[in-house]
Amino acid sequence: MVARKGLARLDPLLLGLAAAAALLRFVGLGDQAYWGDEAHTAFFARLAPDEILPRMSEAEGTPPLYYLGVWAWMQLVGNGEATLRAISALAGTATVPVAYLAATEFVSRRAALATAALVALSPALIWYSQEARAYALAVLLGALSLLTFGRALREPTRGRLAAWALVSGAAAWTQYTAALLVVPEAAWLLLRSGAPRRVLAAVAGVGAIAAPAGLLLLEQNANGATPEWIKNVPRDIRGRQLPEQFLLGYGPPLMPLLAAAALVLALALWLLARRASADERRRAALPAALGVAVIAPPLVLSAVPSLDYLVTRNVLLALVPFAIVVAAGLTCSRAGRLGAAGLAGLLALAVVVTVWVAKTPTLQRPNWRDVAESVGPAAGARVVVVPDPVFAAPLHLYYLDSAELMPRSVRVAEIVVVQVDRSFKQDALDASSYSGLECWWGSFCAAPELKPLRRPPVAGFALAERRQTPGFVLSRYRSAEPRQVLQRRLVPPAAGAYQTLLQRPPG
């Protein structure tokens, strides 16, 4: 551990990196519509605070701290996509100086600047910093846990241990897998600290803070609220996604870009092993071990179906420790121009991928706002058929006013069918397949493959309008007078997982 006196001196380059991080995270923050998981965040944000915990125990597999924060935030600044995502953008920006300080604590200020640059330009962290979910906040709290752990390890005062306990407990209340980082930190403090009683008190404090979150997790498991969908994605795909998405984020860049990023990663490890001093290797070893501790258990447990929760977002807290290790290799005392070229290349790759994803329509979130605008307000009760209840959750939960699940039978004069535009979807698949990488399921390229509905879905209804929005085809069927519509006859079983909604006029 490197001795430090007070806070690291404010570095103009760090200020520039923080400004670049803010720019990348805040520009265009509200341009895209919510995707499925974000719609659930918007739904929870509209609940009263005393309703959030009971509903989360039934319908969410994450802890409540982020959602309580979102509720309080929206009381202050209002509603909307940019507003809701601003917490993640702020957390993602703040992670840059925190990662800098953590790298300063463990390695050196030279490595700290490289770490801050890697975090600021990370395509994966940029993506999550523009998503209304808890992951960016969890990464920030994980980085704070790493920083306070390093400081407490060097000098285990009551104040430093209390700070570590507080942020570590908050991390556990934000993402359950934060325990994979916090538990090894606690074990190392107990083994290596010169103040065992103080450390025991701090560890007990973390346990006291995190215990109620653990009880909530047990209740969520009992209610079936934990994310079982993860197991439906083949394990080998999720395993491949870990290095792909850690290095290059959530779009399908060309395989040569992934190979180039992997080459720089190998260079960093080679420099650390062959050109770094023994002291530099020792400093980088602890962040490396903590990063491995976050990823190794989900990798091993994924072989057991009931314990398989392996997915990139669940191990995202390993990214900052790994960034410190890569930075340590590329900036070690004898890395020279080779290390500088490797760092510049890795940052350039990150910029290319970020621009690529931003400029590729099929890699964005589905545009449910346009769909809702095209559907239009309801003049009378009508049925809206949407593609897959999970995929179309934003339309149901947020964008389509007064929508509810359709009962078994309803009397309406209008039926609107929303379908995935197969040509648009094929463009998305082509964009994914030629790269050799996997499509991320939050972008449009993961739209469900459903059988198209080509004829009037119910006798007595005729096609009145067909229009297209980016990614979707909307067909409007009308009857001269209201007719009784049976839910079971509206969508043929062979068509797949369409969902039927009933929409009434506002008021």
Give DSSP secondary structure letters for 324-371.
Answer: HHHHHHHTSTT-HHHHHHHHHHHHHHHHHHHHHHHH-GGGSPP-HHHH
Containing H/E element for 418?
A: strand 409-420
Compare 483 and 441 and report the one with higher pLDDT: 483
Give per-residue pLDDT as tens, 289-309: 999 999 999 999 999 888 888
The pTM assigned to this predicted structure is: 0.93
Q: What is the mean pLDDT of the chain?
A: 89
Amino acid at 67: Y
pLDDT on residue 195: 84
For residues 496 and 392, give the distance between their C-alpha atoms in angstroms, rounded to a whole number: 14
- The answer for residues whose C-beta is within 8 angstroms of residue 391's C-beta and 6 or more apart is 36, 366, 447, 448
- Helices vs. strands in the chain: H and E counts, helices first: 20, 6
Compare 427 and 207 and report the one with higher pLDDT: 207
Q: First vs last Cα of the chain: how many Å apart?
A: 64
Q: With bands split at pLDDT 50, 70 and 90, how would you rate the model's confidence at 428?
A: low
pLDDT on residue 439: 64
For residues 287 and 103, give the distance between their C-alpha atoms in angstroms, rounded to a whole number: 9
pLDDT on residue 436: 47
β pairing state of 409-420 and 472-486: antiparallel
- Contact assessment for residue 447 and residue 395, using Cβ atoms and an 8 Å cutoff: no
Domain boundaries, the chain: 36-359, 368-503
Q: What is the average per-residue pLDDT within 230-248?
A: 85
Phi, psi of 409 (to 5 degrees): -145, 140
For residues 245 and 314, give the distance between their C-alpha atoms in angstroms, rounded to a whole number: 12
Locate the DSSP E strands across 179-336: none
**Closest residue by Cα to residue 14 from 95, 88, 111, 96:** 96
For residues 299 and 315, give the distance between their C-alpha atoms in angstroms, rounded to a whole number: 10
- The answer for residues whose C-beta is within 8 angstroms of residue 295's C-beta and 6 or more apart is 242, 315, 318
Q: What is the average per-residue pLDDT within 7-11?
A: 60
Give per-residue pLDDT as tens, 279-292: 999 999 999 999 99
Q: With bands split at pLDDT 50, 70 and 90, how would you rate the model's confidence at 251?
A: low
> Which burial class, exposed, middle or buried, applies to 395 when counting CB atoms under 10 A from its CB (0-12, 13-18, 19+)?
buried
At 57, list the tokens: 């125990």
Backbone dihedral region of 376: left (phi > 0), alpha (psi from -120 to 50 degrees) or beta?
A: left
Distances (CA, A) of 455 to 94, 459, 463: 53, 10, 8
Q: With bands split at pLDDT 50, 70 and 90, how would you rate the model's confidence at 5?
A: very low
Q: With bands split at pLDDT 50, 70 and 90, how would you rate the model's confidence at 6?
A: very low
At 406, list the tokens: 């359709």
Q: Is 404 helix (H, G, I), strand (E, B) or coil?
A: strand
